[in-house]
Structure 1
Amino acid sequence: MGSEVQPGRPLRLLQVEGFEARKNDVVYCPSGAPSTPPTVAAVFPGDVQDFTENMEAHRDNRRHKQWNLERTAQVIQRHFPECHVLVIKPSRMDFKTFSCFQNFVKSDQLGVPDHTPNHNSLRHLDRLIKNASCTLQESSDSELEEALRVSAKALGESGNAPDGVSICRNNFYGCPLKLIGFSKGCVVLNQFLHEFHHFKVAPKEDEEVFGVMARIEDMYWLDGGHSGGTNTWVTSKTVLETLASSSIRVHVHVTPYQIDDDRRPWIKKEEKTFSDTLVKLGCDIKRSVHFEGVPPTLLTHFEVLNAFS
């Protein structure tokens, strides 16, 4: 093999297997800092975000095609150059717009979550990461080069890989984890919190699940929101106590688009409860409000992906 894929060259891994029969498409971006210990950033995107060709074919969503999944992977990779980035596409896009992470949390037709103590979402995440890594190692050069060309075309770049570039085959399974939810994608992080608590109080330890939990170093909530009328943020004190008792660093980044929407006042209230409770419990939490004083729009909502750090 030659050198690895250049940083910022994403590729699609289609129908990666996870827990039991669950599968998700994944956009992978390799670490841009191979000399440092690698980390995996697992990213859960929001409504509208899809493969570029699907966004371009939609009358409304084409206006936001710059936030396609490949470009989102590049944005996250710039924030965390030491990370192997995995943008996990929801298993359904209802009405070609609403992200439905049914494989991680029970959801209705608009992707509104119905959180349960255990939906095996942590197992699904663990096996997705493992099988994504295996796919990169086991696929032929021609298969992965074709995946690179597809993603390059989606980004409006040359369909050919640069001279001297080969395929990254690093095994990143078992690396420390950063979990990043944006907008609707935050429902997955919320489900993880319910499962943290479920397995903490379970009568016997689950080696697989505790192995995943032990690898999580950071969790990022980026302007969380969904179209339901409640449960945008976790407010259960017992569930938050479990998070606070862990060593996970919590990062909250919000904008007026979500927390100052008079039509959805529960979002502001729930986010305040979430953040204030974690502070009182001694959790390592950092909270930032972006674009204060700027008229809230969908643009500023998406821009939190660039603004957070």
Structure 2
Amino acid sequence: MSSTTASTSSETTGLGGGVSRDSSVSSQLQRLCAVPGSEPNRVNDLLLVRPDTEEQSCSWAEGRSGNNRHVVFFHGDIQNFQEEMALRPEGVQWVSWSLEQVALHLSRRFPGRYIWVVKASRMYLHKFSCYCNFVESNMFGAPEYSSDFGAFVHLRALLIHGMERANLRPQGGSDSLPPGFSLTLVGFSKGCVVLNQMVYELAEARLDPLVSAFIHCITEMYWLDGGHPGGSETWVTDKQALKELAASEVSVHAHVTPYEVCDPMRAWVGREYRLFIQTLEEFGASLSKKLHFKDEPPSINNHFRVIQEF
């Protein structure tokens, strides 16, 4: 696959088809294909946006903290690489929310941090994102949560291997996190199922010293208008699981729109969201919440716009 160079402005040139190796979209943004996670056959494509000023280039080897602040984003349905979305009628109208465009937006939202966009390992019918490497899911991406699936383990390995591929840490070095490593997790729409799975497995994951150290590096978790095609568990409502989340001292942010939480045809989504908020407040979690576009009719356009507004 050939590399395509593009401006880092709001318009980014798409890459050619037939992805077979890592490619740069711009001086900031790099695609890393088929990065292995917790197992060799569990792979995800990653998109990396480097901060404008990289302080980390030698920090790993020299033991200095450097700039090791990272953000990981899990996208929703329809969203894909720009050239894939442009090929399909259901995707082309939303191409401004391609993975590349969202990655560059997040780099402005979180300046000075490394931005990682994790592409779902499967896109059923080219539009239903399925995060089966992180949570047991059906073909449409509806999750079946478990306390021991291994989302934390997979993400940790994915980031370590991704850093090696991007030359942010030595090839084949020790299986450890860089000094001063911190992590913010952001899930949008379907991507929130990954964050939910992490909440369900939090208690079990803490029993593993290696994974526990990784969890302690997570400072913030953002739920952006969570939704999936299943008939329940759009938001975590299990009290014990939410008690674990509150005790973790991770800052929780919930940003929603009427598209998800005010839809009378899916009334359970709003009920679950309110219970999620209420329970975390009862347990004293570090929590912020906001209903965006509350005075506007529910729309999928505003659903996507929460990525810009949060």
After TM superposition, the score normalised by the length of structure 1 is 0.83
Q: 3-state SS of the aligned residue for 1:87?
A: strand
Task: Kindly indicate whether the alpha-carbon contact (under 8 Å) linking 2:152 and 2:205 is maintained by their aligned counterparts in 1.
Answer: no
Aligned partner of 2:15 in structure 1 is none
In 2: Cα distance, 1:72 partner to 1:138 partner? 22
How far apart are the structure 1 equivalents of 2:233 and 2:270? 11
Moved more, 54-63 or 256-265: 54-63
Work out whether residues 8 and 77 of structure 1, in 8 Å CA contact, stay in contact via their aligned partners in 2.
no
Q: Quick one: distance in 1 between partners of 2:243 and 2:168?
A: 41
Change (3 A) 1:138 1:40: closer
Shift in alpha-carbon separation, 1:258–1:138, aligned structure 2, 3 A: closer
Q: Judging changes above 3 Å, is the alpha-carbon distance between structure 1 residues 254 and 289 closer, same or farther for their aligned structure 2 residues?
A: same
Query: Is the Cα contact below 8 Å between 1:7 and 1:30 reproduced in 2?
Result: no
Q: Distance in 1 between matches of 2:77 and 2:25?
A: 29
1:191 to 183, 192, 197: 197
- 1:13 pairs with 2:19: no
1:38 partnered with 2:68: yes
Output aligned runs, 1:91-102, within 5 Å.
91-102=121-132
Distance 2:178 2:261 in 1: 36
- What is the SS of the residue equivalent to 2:100? helix
Is 1:294 the counterpart of 2:296? The answer is yes
Question: What is the letter of the counterpart of residue 284 of structure 1?
Answer: S
Alpha-carbon separation, structure 2, partners of 1:176 and 1:211: 11
Tell me the secondary structure at the aligned position of residue 51 of structure 2: coil
Asked whether the 8 Å contact 1:10–1:29 carries over to 2, the reply is: yes
Q: How many residues align?
A: 269
* Counterpart for residue 55 of structure 1: 85
> Which whole-Å CA distance do the structure 2 matches of 1:126 and 1:177 have between them?
11
| Contact 1:31–1:81 (Cα < 8 Å) also in 2 | yes
Q: Distance in 2 between matches of 1:116 and 1:8?
A: 40
Residue number in structure 1 paired with 2:7: none
- Structure 2, unpaired ranges of 5+: 1-23, 56-65, 170-176
Distance (whole Å) between structure 1 residues aligned to residue 258 and residue 122 of structure 2: 28
1:28 aligns with 2:48: yes
**Residues 282 and 109 of structure 1: is their aligned pair in 2 closer, same or farther, counting only changes over 3 Å?**
same
* Structure number with higher relative contact order (C-alpha < 8 Å, ≥ 6 residues apart): 1
Alignment-mate amino acid for residue 41 of structure 1: V
- CA displacement at 1:199 relative to structure 2: 3.1
Percentage of matched positions with identical amino acids = 37
Unaligned 5+ segments in structure 1 are 140-170
For residues 116 and 186 of structure 1, the distance between their equivalents in structure 2, rounded to whole angstroms, comes to: 15
Q: Equivalents in 1 of 2:68, 2:26: separation in Å? A: 13
The structural deviation recorded for 1:138 is 8.3
User: 1:137, CA displacement in angstroms?
Assistant: 1.3
For 1:252, the equivalent position in structure 2 comes to 254
Q: Which contiguous aligned blocks of 4+ residues in structure 1 show a shift greater than 2 angstroms?
A: 5-9, 32-38, 171-174, 197-200
Q: Which amino acid aligns with 1:219?
A: M
Q: Secondary structure at the match of 2:298?
A: coil
Give the AA of the match of 1:269.
R
Separation of aligned partners in 2, 1:8 and 1:240 = 41
- Residues 4-47 of structure 1 show CA distances to partners (whole Å, capped at 9, x for unaligned) of x9998211100011011210000000023546843110100000
User: Could you tell me whether the CA contact under 8 Å between 2:25 and 2:31 is conserved in 1?
Assistant: no
Match of 2:137 among 95, 101, 107: 107
Q: Deviations over 1:219-251 (max 9, x none)?
A: 000000011110000000000000111120000
* 2:68 and 2:180 in contact (8 A); partners too: no
* Letter of the structure 2 residue corresponding to residue 180 of structure 1: V
* 3-state SS in 2 of match to 1:264: helix
Partner Cα distance (2:168, 2:134) in 1: 26
Q: 2: CA distance between counterparts of 1:72 and 1:32?
A: 17
CA contact (8 A) 2:259 2:299 kept: yes
1:224-243 equivalences in 2 (<5 Å):
224-243=226-245
